[in-house]
Amino acid sequence: MPRRVLILGGTSDARALAGLLPGAVSSLAGRVRAPVLPPGEVRVGGFGGIDGLVDYLRAERITHVVDATHPFAARMTAHAAEACAATGVPLVILRRPGWSSVPGDRWIRVPSLPAAADLVPRLGSRVFLTTGRQDLATFAGLDPWFLVRSVDPPDPPVPHRMLSLLDRGPFTVEGERALLREHAIDLLVTKDSGGPTGAKLTAARELGVPVIMVDRPPLPPGVPVVRTPEEAAALG
C-alpha cells in the first residue's frame, strides 16, 4: 500500500511537517476563520469522534498518523490514540518541548485553567490572558481587568472587564514589553504551549511581572513522542 500520512494540525510545527512530507494530508479543526494553511492537501473539520476518525483512516487508506496538534488539544490527541489502536495505523505525537523557567522568572505552575482562574484575583488586577478565546468562560466571573489576545474575536461568556486584542504571532520581545507597559499589566496567564510564542515570557521577566503557567494535559500512554518536525518526517 502506498504511504499516505495524515497530519493532525493547527500548529506551526504541523505546517513545517507538511512541507517535509509531500503527499501528506493535513487536517484542521476549522476553528480559525482564516487559518494559515499548510502546504499540500488540506481537509477541514472534525471527523465525528473516534468512530468517524476510524472510518476516515480506512476510507482514505491512511498508513501513518502524526498528531501535531497543539499540546492543549487533548481530545483530538486522545481520539487519535484510540482510532489508531483500533485500526493498527502507526501513530506518532509531535510535541515541541514546553517552556522552562530561568532565573528572574516569577512563575506559578498550575495544573489546569480552573486552577489558574482561582489564583488570578489574588495575584493581579490587570491581567494579560493568552490562553485563547475558547477558554475565556473559565475567567468570566472574575473582577480583575483582562487584556485578551486571540486570532478571532472571543465569543461570550467573557470577563466583564476586558479589552479584546485581535492579533496572530509570532510576537517580538520589544512588542510584548511595550504591550505590558501600555496596559500596566501586573499578571500574565498562559498555557505551557512551548515554541515561538515565548517572547511574552521574556518581557514579563524583564518587567518583573508574575506568570501563571498552566501545565499541559497528560499524553496518552504508549504513544511515541518526537520533538521536531524533522524527527517526525524521518519516521515511518
Which residues contribute to the site for ligand NAP (CB under 6 A)? 8-11, 27-29, 31, 46-49, 52-53, 69-70, 72-76, 79, 132, 134, 191
The residue among 48 and 104 lying less far from ligand NAP, judged by its C-beta, is: 48
- What values do phi and psi take at 172, rounded to 5? -105, 160
CB within 8 Å of 170: residues ≥ 6 apart: 196, 197, 199
Assess contact for 6 and 24: CB atoms under 8 A: yes
Degrees to nearest 5, angle at CA 224 with 114 and 59: 95
The residue among 93 and 209 lying less far from ligand NAP, judged by its C-beta, is: 93
The residue among 75 and 161 lying less far from ligand NAP, judged by its C-beta, is: 75
CB within 8 Å of 215: residues ≥ 6 apart: 109, 110, 111, 112, 192
For the beta carbon of residue 68, count every other beta carbon within 10 angstroms: 29
Q: Where are the alpha helices (DSSP H) in 60-197?
A: 74-87, 113-123, 173-182
The residue among 57 and 204 lying less far from ligand NAP, judged by its C-beta, is: 57
The residue among 124 and 132 lying less far from ligand NAP, judged by its C-beta, is: 132
- What values do phi and psi take at 71, rounded to 5? -55, -20
Q: Output the smallest distance, CB 198 to ligand NAP, in A.
A: 14
Q: Output the smallest distance, CB 45 to ligand NAP, in A.
A: 6
Q: Output the smallest distance, CB 208 to ligand NAP, in A.
A: 27
Q: Output the smallest distance, CB 109 to ligand NAP, in A.
A: 17
The residue among 29 and 173 lying less far from ligand NAP, judged by its C-beta, is: 29
For the beta carbon of residue 112, count every other beta carbon within 10 angstroms: 12
The residue among 35 and 144 lying less far from ligand NAP, judged by its C-beta, is: 35
Q: Output the smallest distance, CB 48 to ligand NAP, in A.
A: 5
Q: Output the smallest distance, CB 71 to ligand NAP, in A.
A: 8
Q: Is 91 left (phi over 0), alpha (psi -120 to 50) or beta?
A: beta
Q: Output the smallest distance, CB 204 to ligand NAP, in A.
A: 19
3 state SS of 83: helix
Cα end-to-end distance, the chain, whole Å: 13
